[in-house]
Amino acid sequence: MNIQLDHHIWPMERDILFRPARMKYVRKLIKSNECVFCLSAKGKISLKTLCVYQTKHSQIVLNKYPYNSGHILVLPLNHVGSVFEFSDEAYLDLQRTLRLAMQAVNDIYQPAGFNIGMNHGATAGAGIPDHLHYHIVPRWHGDLNFFPLIAETKLVIESIDISYKRYQKYFKKIASTQKQRGKV
């Protein structure tokens, strides 16, 4: 029973273990000179970087290869690979942003549940171990997320640009509300 539970909680590890083609992609990312998450931090909010929201310390970025519709990542702006390197302020900001991202997923996709997790370090299966990131994967009853294991087939439900537009619209509203509050 525990084994089955693990498969549901850690889709990324499962993918790495069972899909060698994806491992190639992950290795390529690790070898790249430019960290994609640093690029999204610098490039601000755009479809090109898949970043939809930024705070003083954190950012919310769409996963380019989602495990389910609406799969997003919450991570620091700075290139940090360990939670022990955070200041209290940056860590708190990251946790607040994680909850905000969960709220967004909930409001936009109304999932029945979430898988939230971080692979901390390369050994734990992190694709980009030097720039830590939480995964938020929305889950629905019968969404068959285990399907790639069986048939190398995957139900990817929504295109990345449609997901991006939905998140972008949502976070634009959040940002303008925050601005208004700041002026009061």
| The total number of residues written for the chain in this structure | 184
Tell me the angle at which helices 11-18 and 20-31 cross, rounded to the nearest 10 degrees: 110
Q: What angle do CA 115, 110, 175 make, to 5 degrees?
A: 90
Instruction: Report how far apart, in Å, the C-alpha atoms of 53 and of each of 56, 59, 89, 149 are.
Output: 10, 6, 18, 33
Q: How far is the CB of 132 from Zn ion (least distance, A)?
A: 9
Q: How far is the CB of 19 from Zn ion (least distance, A)?
A: 24
* Interacting span for Zn ion (CB under 5 A) from 58-66, 67-75, 129-137, 172-180: 129-137
- Using CB under 5 A as the binding criterion, the count of chain residues that bind Zn ion stands at 5
Tell which one of 14, 131, 133, 166 touches Zn ion (CB under 5 A).
131
Instruction: Give the count of beta carbons closer than 10 Å to the beta carbon of residue 54.
Output: 18
Handedness of CA 16, 133, 135, 84 (dihedral sign): positive
Tell which one of 13, 19, 22, 35 touches Zn ion (CB under 5 A).
35
Q: Is 57 in the site for Zn ion (CB under 5 A)?
A: no
133 is catalytic: yes
Tell which one of 79, 165, 169, 172 touches Zn ion (CB under 5 A).
79
Tell which one of 15, 26, 37, 62 touches Zn ion (CB under 5 A).
37
Q: How far is the CB of 156 from Zn ion (least distance, A)?
A: 26
Q: How far is the CB of 46 from Zn ion (least distance, A)?
A: 17
| Residue whose Cβ sits closest to Zn ion | 35
From 57, 71, 131, 133, the catalytic residue: 133
Three-class DSSP category at 145: coil
CA 93 and chain centroid, separation: 16
Q: Is 118 in the site for Zn ion (CB under 5 A)?
A: no
**Which residue intervals of 113-159 are DSSP H helices?**
147-151
* Residues that bind Zn ion in the complex, under the rule CB under 5 A: 35, 37-38, 79, 131
Q: Give catalytic residue positions.
A: 133
